[in-house]
Amino acid sequence: MIEHLYIHGAYLKSNSSETFESINPANGQVIALIDQASESDVEVAIKSAEKGFAVWSKMKAVERGRILLKAVSILRERNNELAALEVADCGKPLQEANCVDIHSGADVIEYYAGIAPGLQGAQQDLKSSTFYISKREPLGVCAGIGAWNYPIQIACWKSAACLAAGNSMVFKPSEETPLSVLKLAEIYTEAGMPPGVFNVVQGDYRVGQYLTRHPRVAKISFTGESGTGKKIMADAAGSLKEVTLELGGKSPLIIFNDADIDNAISGALLANFYTQGEVCTNGTRVFVQSGIYDKFIEKVCQRSKKIKLGDPMDLDTQMGALISSKHLDKVMDYIDKAKKSGARLVLGGNRHKSKETENGFFVEPTIFADCKDDSEHVTDEIFGPVMSILRFDDEAEVIGRANDTKFGLAAGVFTQNINRAHRVINQLEAGICWINSWGDSPAEMPVGGYKESGIGRENGPETLKSYTQIKSIFVRLDDVESPY
């Protein structure tokens, strides 16, 4: 069966003759063939989104909110079925997808459906006979381009603020994970969204480029690698469109001697092995203070050894398969480089193969200790289950080392000293910070990166405003003074 594009409230066959495969990373089997969109398909999607915008932007925000809330309840009703589809497409464990991917997407749609009606302009009196008003108007047709690690969540997060503010969206998922966003499009239609408000085009980077370079797309919201983000920004400059870039990272997690060590280890495990390490905010540079260094390594290995790796559909499985054989090779290459760097391999370091997983792309939870700051596995984003542990002695030293990276997505500190926690976090160059926790991302909290980890934010109140533009209107009640 071939999955088509989703345009103007229905499936539409591409006019290209190209298709591509979606593969289940847990067993290497093809689960679907998908239409690759052509440039003219993208044009059709944009025209549809313009028609959708004309209807949607004229509705009251509460009316849009009602439709978005209906979509939220359908997403939650269909949670388990959507989670299973996500697992088949991206290899993550069902125990994660069941409770995170769809729920966290629905939460953000619900949040923006609730706050969008409160979006207001301003009015200010100037002279007694003049004043101005400013209105917040939607931008128009926006494009979303997604990564493969949280496909439906990314599509929900991007469309939520965009649509709640009255825009329409054309969304391109990663070609690795094209399936779940089609279900989101169906759900929006079922909830009563007018045709064209949310369209899906499928395919590789070419489709992303058509969108990014298109003169009638007002904004690109992109999630992916920093290198791709730079290309998107350059392409968007051709038509001066707005960009939001949610990019990669190599985030520091700093654990002080006085930390609650079991909580710190829980944080480190979440920050490295959740979703097989395929999380943008991962805290993969784990700085541990000398006083607890050996104890930390012993305990983190003990707990990591118990992680159950295997068939992601098995609800007991805690770690699934990497997205593709190409990505598996990349991760194994970094592990080989780490072995040669002089770092001490204290756990894992191999492809995982059992009868159950032999055709899938599985890597053992891997931990290196005594890492050097400038080794490639420490400086580069690996996006796999590879933890690098680095020893430090004092606070000023670790802050300097933690900030010595081109990335600035996330950072975390474990300490019982509340003064130190804030003092350190205040000096870390990162957009998303955690104190005595890791990974929490509620809808209310803006997320995004410093430095080469991104531009703009997702979630939180500011993001809604970023999908609007201000129109200022000056009003005069008396005569116009003119020298002419």
Q: Report in angstroms how near the CB of residue 380 gets to ligand NAP at its nearest.
A: 10
Active site residue 458: yes
Is residue 144 near ligand NAP by the rule CB under 6 A?
no
Is residue 236 near ligand NAP by the rule CB under 6 A?
no
Report d(CA 112, CA 380) in Å as an integer: 35
Task: Indicate which single residue of 110, 246, 311, 364 sits in contact with ligand NAP (rule: CB under 6 A).
Answer: 246
Nearest to ligand NAP of 11, 205 (CB atom): 205
Q: Which residue stretch of 59-67, 244-252, 348-356, 364-372 sits at the interface with ligand NAP (rule: CB under 6 A)?
A: 244-252
Q: Report in angstroms how near the CB of residue 440 gets to ligand NAP at its nearest.
A: 14
Task: Indicate which single residue of 209, 341, 403, 436 sits in contact with ligand NAP (rule: CB under 6 A).
Answer: 209
Nearest to ligand NAP of 196, 224 (CB atom): 224
Nearest to ligand NAP of 126, 234 (CB atom): 234
Residue 474: exposed, middle, or buried by beta-carbon count in 10 A (0-12, 13-18, 19+)? Answer: exposed
Report d(CA 331, CA 261) in Å as an integer: 28
Nearest to ligand NAP of 196, 449 (CB atom): 449
Active site residue 429: no
Catalytic one of 90, 280, 371, 381: 280
Task: Indicate which single residue of 232, 288, 347, 363 sits in contact with ligand NAP (rule: CB under 6 A).
Answer: 232
How many other CB atoms are found less than 10 A from the CB of residue 426? 9
Of 48, 355, 61, the residue nearest 198 (C-alpha): 48
Nearest to ligand NAP of 253, 398 (CB atom): 253
Q: Report in angstroms how near the CB of residue 53 gets to ligand NAP at its nearest.
A: 22
Is residue 146 near ligand NAP by the rule CB under 6 A?
yes
Sorted by sequence, the CB contacts under 8 Å of residue 331 that are 6+ apart come out as 322, 363, 382, 383, 384, 385, 386
Nearest to ligand NAP of 301, 433 (CB atom): 433
Nearest to ligand NAP of 65, 249 (CB atom): 249
Task: Indicate which single residue of 3, 41, 110, 175 sits in contact with ligand NAP (rule: CB under 6 A).
Answer: 175
Is residue 364 near ligand NAP by the rule CB under 6 A?
no
Task: Indicate which single residue of 95, 168, 212, 441 sits in contact with ligand NAP (rule: CB under 6 A).
Answer: 212
Q: Which residue stretch of 37-45, 112-120, 131-139, 171-179 sits at the interface with ligand NAP (rule: CB under 6 A)?
A: 171-179
Q: Report in angstroms how near the CB of residue 34 gets to ligand NAP at its nearest.
A: 10
Is residue 460 near ligand NAP by the rule CB under 6 A?
no
Catalytic one of 246, 278, 364, 381: 246
4 phi-psi bin (left φ>0, alpha ψ -120 to 50, beta other):
beta
Is residue 228 near ligand NAP by the rule CB under 6 A?
yes
From residue 377 to residue 416, what is the string marking binding to ligand NAP with x (rule CB under 6 A)? ----x-x-------------------------x-------
Contact residues: ligand NAP, CB under 6 A: 145-149, 172, 174-175, 204-205, 208-209, 212, 223-225, 228, 231-232, 246-249, 280, 381, 383, 409, 449, 454
Active site residues: 158, 246, 280, 458
